[in-house]
Amino acid sequence: MAKVGVLLLNLGGPERIQDVGPFLYNLFSDPEIIRLPNPALQKPLAWLISSLRAGKSQEAYRSIGGGSPLRRITEQQARELQSTLRQRGIEATSYVAMRYWHPFTESAVADIKADGIEEVVVLPLYPHFSISTSGSSFRELQRLRQTDPGFAHLPIRCIRSYYDDPGYIGAMAELIAREIQACPEPATAHVFFSAHGVPKSYVEEAGDPYQQEIEACAQLIMERLERDLGHRNPFTLAYQSRVGPVEWLKPYTDDALHELGGQGVKDLVVVPISFVSEHIETLEEIDIEYREIATESGITNFRRVPALDTTPTFISGLADLVQHALEGPEVNLDQAAALSTKVKLYPQDKWAWGWNNSSEVWNGRLAMVGFSAFLLELLSGRGPLHALGLL
């Protein structure tokens, strides 16, 4: 049997406070995170946004102990998946490839080559596909395959997403059911799915299937819970972690919490749906920020469902996915990253008057030119704003 490498993809997180700035710079340097018409602006903008955000972000990481637990948890998941596969007679070794912090994707690929791995299964630790998460990691792997013949020749089987996989749905339902049953009146407890958001344009203009996969996943979990518990609980789906001035998927988690509190909901079972590990968005944003908003809104029983981490049913579901991938055909990175309905945004085909896509693109371009001139003036200390005494 060939030596199998299972490559687990995740985002990565700063382990120490001093890592926060460089981690944010890496994140905002990614064109899949900030989609710009002009690639030359990516790095200056990444520098500016990461510098502006670092303080707020550091404060959040301080409140959860000074760093992200994501690497530790992901490495535990990798070890447990490897031992489950070996118990099933599959000689697999697992590797962790983070997108924006250590261990970086390059170093996982170097380990795969050094260990003489003969075929690779790529498994994102994102159950739902998004251009900004799995899509970005697939692209990074594609770049490495194009530049490294030693990696390019390995057969590869990519798992695109598994939001509807019975193993994953079952593991989620199991953890949610525990919290529902701990409520004083389990049948009426309100299930609140909070998914990481993405800008609305990802879905509506770039064809990101993320929202559709999140919605389908929430429905499947609710159906599974109904079967397991014998009652159908009310539920809400909302989107958290918005960054920047553009519109993101709605409803926003904070607005939805205010609304439910206003409707008199008292028992809320909060499910971090797009994450499979505890990290800053669960430990700080949900446990601290959203809990406070919920309490102020009159929700007296705020119960957060833990992230899957190394829950045995989740790990065995991941092992099933790897096993099925090995039994199936090769799935390359292009196939895994493909979008079914890609809408062309840049460049616009022809100019049109009015408040439309075309005008928005030109507004964006002019704003970027103005912004770059401002940045240049800030850095050089010379320019029209200085001449007018405004800087």
Nearer to Fe ion, 32 or 285 (CB): 285
Residue 133 interface partner, choices ligand L6N33NVT, Fe ion, none, CB cut-off 5-8 Å depending on type: ligand L6N33NVT
Q: Does 198 bind ligand L6N33NVT (CB under 6 A)?
A: yes
For ligand L6N33NVT, the closer of residues 117 and 172 by Cβ is: 172
Nearer to Fe ion, 95 or 100 (CB): 100
Please select the residue that binds Fe ion; options are 285, 286, 287, 314, rule is CB under 5 A: 285
Tell me the two tokens of residue 24.
Answer: 């944010």
- Which of 76, 83, 201, 241: binder of Fe ion (CB under 5 A)? 241
Q: How many residues bind ligand L6N33NVT (CB under 6 A)?
A: 21
Pair 177, 228: CB distance under 8 Å: yes
* 287 binds Fe ion per the rule CB under 5 A: no
Tokens of residue 290, six digits: 């959203």
Residue 126's binding partner, choosing from ligand L6N33NVT, Fe ion, none, with beta-carbon cut-off 5 to 8 A by kind? ligand L6N33NVT
Q: Is the peptide bond before 103 cis (omega within 30 degrees of 0)?
A: yes
Q: Check: CB of residue 19 under 8 Å from CB of residue 106.
A: no
CB 330 within 8 A of CB 155: yes
Contact call for residue 70 and ligand L6N33NVT (CB under 6 A):
yes
Residue 13: which of Fe ion, ligand L6N33NVT, none does it interact with, CB under 5 to 8 A by kind? ligand L6N33NVT
What type of residue is 20?
Answer: V
For the stretch 185-203, what's the b/e string if a residue is b when 16 or more beta carbons lie within 10 angstroms of its beta carbon? ebeebbbbbbbbbbbbbbb
Q: Does 63 bind Fe ion (CB under 5 A)?
A: no
Query: Rounded distance, CA 294 to CA 360, Å?
Result: 36
168 CB neighbour count, 10 Å cutoff: 24
Residue closest to ligand L6N33NVT (Cβ): 13
Q: Which of 26, 74, 94, 133 binds ligand L6N33NVT (CB under 6 A)?
A: 133
Of 11 and 92, which has the nearer Cβ to ligand L6N33NVT?
A: 11
Please give the order of strands across the beta sheet that includes 190-196: 235-240, 190-196, 267-272, 301-304
Short-list 154, 155, 172, CA closest to 163? 172
Cβ–Cβ < 8 Å for 275, 239: no
Phi and psi (nearest 5°) for 161? Answer: -160, 165
Query: Does residue 278 bind Fe ion (CB under 5 A)?
Result: no
Per CB under 6 A, does 58 bind ligand L6N33NVT? no
List residues binding Fe ion (CB under 5 A).
241, 285
List residues binding ligand L6N33NVT (CB under 6 A).
11, 13, 24, 27, 33, 53, 57, 68, 70, 126, 130, 132-133, 196, 198-199, 243, 274, 279-281
